Amino acid sequence: MIIDGHTHIFTDDMVCNKERYCDDRQFSLLYYGKAKIASAEMLIESMNNNAVDASVALGFTWQKEEYAHMHNDYLASVQQKYKGKIYAFGALALQGDMYKQIESIKQLGLYGIGEVAFYADGFGEEEEWLLGQILALAEKFELPVCVHVNEPLGHIYAGKYYTDMRTLFALCTHYTRIPIICSHWGGGLLFYELMPEVQKSLQHVYYDTAATPFLYQSGIYDIAIQICGKQKIIFGSDFPLLDCSRYLQNIEALGESKQCVLSYNIKKVLGIQ
C-alpha cells in the first residue's frame, strides 16, 4: 500500500482563478505566476497514474480567515467524496481566532492541522508564540500537526525562511501528546537525533520526504533510517510540485523499511487501519 503523506489541493475557483487570491500575502508569495496548483481531481488522477492508494491533502496557512474557511469547507467535502482516498488536514489563517479555527477543523472531521508555515514574515518571536498556541490547541483537540520546516543552508527559493532548530526543538519537546510531522526532513532536525537525549525527546516527531529531489542526494533515505529509525519517516511527494515517480524508486530500494515509509507510519499518525 502507498499513502502520499504530503500533497496540496485547492478549490476549483482557486485553481482556475488563482490571481483572485493573490491579495493574500502568504498565497501570493508561493503561487503568484506560473507556480503549480491543483484540485482534488488532479490529485486523484496523479494517484491513479502512480498506483498511490491514498493521499493526505494538506491545508494552507493563509493570512485571510475567509480563504482558510473556504479551503477547509472544500477539504472536508473532497474527503467525504473520496472517502478512504483523501485524508485532509485543515488550513489556518494567521490573522484569525486560532481557537475557533482549530475547533472548526475538529468539527469538520479533518484529520489534522497544517501544513503550518510562515512564508511571508519568516519564523520570528511572534511566529514562535503562534506555533506554540497552535500546538497547544492541537493537543486539546487531539489533532496531529504538520509543520513546514526549511533547511537553514543551501539555495534560496520562494517561501524559504530560517527556522531556528533550538526553537523548533523546544516547541516539539513541550507538546508531546500529539504526533508532529516536520516536513522536508525537518529542515535537518532529524540529524540531531544522533544525540540520545534529542532522540528520546522527539519520539512523537515524524519527518516527511517532501521535495527531497530538490534538496538532498538519494542517500538521505538510508541515512535518516539509520539515525532515527524506519518508524519515523513518512513518504510525501509535495504534489503538485513533484510527481510520485521522483521518489518511489529510492523508497522501493529500502527493502524491509519501505512499507513503514510508504504507509505504516502515516496510518499511525492518522489513526487508521
In angstroms, the CA 258 to CA 270 distance is 18
The pTM assigned to this predicted structure is 0.96
Residue 204 has pLDDT above 90, yes or no: yes
What local confidence, expressed as pLDDT, does residue 93 receive?
98
What local confidence, expressed as pLDDT, does residue 100 receive?
98
The amino acid at residue 60 is F
C-alpha cell at 102: 482549530
Q: Residue 62 forms beta bridges with which residues?
A: 93
What mean pLDDT is predicted for residues 1-10? 98
In angstroms, the CA 94 to CA 158 distance is 19
Segment among 26-40, 93-107, 154-168, 222-236 with least mean pLDDT: 154-168
State yes or no: cis peptide before 196, omega within 30 of 0.
no
CATH of region 3-270, choose from 3.40.190.10, 3.40.50.720, 3.20.20.140, 1.20.120.1750: 3.20.20.140
Cβ burial, residue 251 (10 Å; 0-12/13-18/19+): buried
In angstroms, the CA 231 to CA 108 distance is 29
For residues 104, 150, 239, 156, the Cα torsion angle rounded to the nearest 10 degrees is 130
**pLDDT per position as a tens digit, 91-130:** 999 988 999 999 999 999 999 999 999 999 999 999 999 9
In angstroms, the CA 171 to CA 183 distance is 15
For residues 158, 162, 165, 171, the Cα torsion angle rounded to the nearest 10 degrees is -80
What local confidence, expressed as pLDDT, does residue 96 receive?
87
**pLDDT per position as a tens digit, 122-181:** 999 999 999 999 999 999 999 999 999 998 888 888 788 899 999 999 999 999 999 999
How many helices (H) does the chain have, and how many strands (E)? 13, 10
3-state per-residue secondary structure call for 117-151: CCCCCCCCHHHHHHHHHHHHHHHHHCCCEEECCCC
Q: Give me the helices (H) in the chain, please.
A: 12-16, 25-31, 40-49, 65-81, 98-107, 125-141, 165-174, 196-201, 212-215, 220-228, 245-252, 258-259, 265-270
Residue 62, number of CB atoms within 10 A of its CB: 23
Domains in the chain: boundaries: 3-270
In angstroms, the CA 65 to CA 18 distance is 17
User: Are 197 and 219 in contact, with CB atoms under 8 Å apart?
Assistant: no
pLDDT band at 6 (very low <50, low <70, confident <90, very high): very high
**pLDDT per position as a tens digit, 55-87:** 999 999 999 999 999 999 999 999 999 999 999
Q: Which among 226, 220, 233 is positioned nearest to 260, based on CA atoms?
A: 233
Residue 75, number of CB atoms within 10 A of its CB: 28
What local confidence, expressed as pLDDT, does residue 161 receive?
86
